[in-house]
Amino acid sequence: MRKMMHLRVVAGTGGGPEKTILNSPQFIKQHGYDAHVVYLCPSDPVIQESLRSRAETLGCPLTLIEDRGLRDFSVIGKLLKFCREQQIELLQAHDYKSNALGLVLRRLHRMHLVTMLHGWTDMSGRMPLYKRVDQWCLPWYEKLICVSEDLVEECRRLRVSDRKIELVHNAIDLSAYTRWVDKDQAQRDLGVDAQGGPLVGMGGPLIGMGGPLIGMVCRLSPEKGILEAIAMVDRFRSMGKPVQLWIAGDGPFRSEIEKEISRLGLGANVRLLGQLADARVFYQAMDVFLLNSIREGLPNVVLEAMALDVPVVATRVAGVPTLIKPGQTGWLIEPGETSMLDSAVAECLEGSHTDPQVRSARELIENQFSFDRRMQRIAGIYDSLAWR
């Protein structure tokens, strides 16, 4: 059994990549790899407990190392100690900082280096600088696993050899993502009341405001197109066709979103749910799932919605067209095209073409995007390394 480590830096409770990283050890073990996950994270007990809870649920061995930022060089010694004690033979990095740390650690501890590219989506603040650091590191890695076709092209533009680049899409554990409750019951469980009136759910009183439920699951950041989705809700209201928009997730853009909800007077139509420990019931309550991003990799949330038989409207970005085939598995729209957004959501809610597309979407996930299939592919990449 070869010993390996996943290394990632998280500032909060994590995001889409955690669904892949924390689920990997239990699936890769049957292929001869004993995997351990190490996260560099803040000292915040809420963040740490959330990560530990998610890992425990998935049976994932997890070590948390406190990270105080760019100047905290003590993490190098802690990671080196871990690698030596655990006799790590393979490190798989997942972001710019873990890529840089991997290059340092390999000079001190012999091991193979593989990295996974999840996509550069958040380009606010210092992220453009971090992206450049990341791109400088990539050619030094033995294998670059890309989750979408656009990332493969990005690596080629960096003049990385094709023999190092591998395309492996994200995937779903179908045993965990199979619908077990119908939409009406899920909506009652969450407190969605089509007739109006106070209900209890999601940890507190909710006010039903009528209309179908549109759901988003995403980080609250500008590239997710949340303000544009809220403007859509306002347009539907002005046409006398009210809808509900509920958004699960958290992030730095929350205050701006709250201000826009207040400015438009949409407090009865738009609800921010915060970070959900388990969003599966929320998916099953949706009339439609919306991904309105302008930047993505291959979003796990689209895979999850498709696997749980939820109609999907999504923007044509990065790897999304691999999943959403217009007229077959969902509705594909151009980023920023408000008329396409409105008409696609309206057609999806109208429902005459929904059921066949939902069935085809589930079949696509079963046939091409199962976690078992994905981890078999990953193991093959590991096996191709020049093991001594």
The per-residue pLDDT for range 43-67, each reduced to its tens digit, is: 889 889 989 998 998 999 999 999 8
pLDDT band at 387, cuts 50/70/90?
A: confident
pTM, two decimals, is 0.83
Span 15-37, mean pLDDT? 92
Question: Both tokens of residue 337?
Answer: 């095209």
Q: Which comes out higher in pLDDT, residue 250 or 7? A: 7
Q: What is the pLDDT of residue 192?
A: 67
* Sequence-distant contacts of 237-242: CB under 8 A, at least 24 apart: 237/266, 237/269, 241/211, 241/346, 242/209, 242/210, 242/211, 242/269
- Tokens 């992030």 belong to residue: 251
The pLDDT of residue 210 is 63
Mean pLDDT for the chain overall = 89
**What is the pLDDT, as a whole number, of residue 196?**
37
Strands 204-208 and 197-201: antiparallel
Give yes or no for a contact between 20 and 121, defined as CB atoms under 8 angstroms apart: no
- What's the pLDDT band for 386 if we cut at 50, 70, 90? confident
Q: How confident is the model at residue 123 (pLDDT cuts 50, 70, 90)?
A: low
What is the per-residue pLDDT for 211? 85
Helix (H) or strand (E) holding 365: helix 354-368
Per-residue pLDDT at 32: 96
Q: What is the pLDDT of residues 184-237, one digit of tens each?
A: 899 888 876 544 333 333 333 333 446 899 999 999 999 999 999 999 999 999
Radius of gyration of the chain (CA): 21
Q: Which of 286, 346, 347, 340 is nearest to 316 (CA)?
A: 340
Name residues whose C-beta falls within 8 Å of residue 307's C-beta, 6 or more positions apart in sequence. 172, 174, 177, 178, 362, 365
**Residues 124-144: tens digit of each pLDDT:** 667 788 788 888 999 999 999
Name 90's bridge partners: 4, 112
The edge-to-edge listing of strands for the beta sheet with 270-274 is 270-274, 244-248, 213-217, 288-291, 312-315, 331-333
Contact 291, 223 (CB under 8 A): no
Residue 8 to residue 13: CA distance in whole angstroms = 12
Mean pLDDT of 16-42: 93
- Give the C-alpha distances (Å, rounded to integers) separating 158 from 94, 98, 150: 18, 19, 13
146 bridge partner residues = 117, 167
Domains of the chain: 2-171+370-383 (3.40.50.2000), 183-368 (3.40.50.2000)
- Give the pLDDT confidence score for residue 129 in this predicted structure: 80
Is residue 172 pLDDT above 70, yes or no? yes
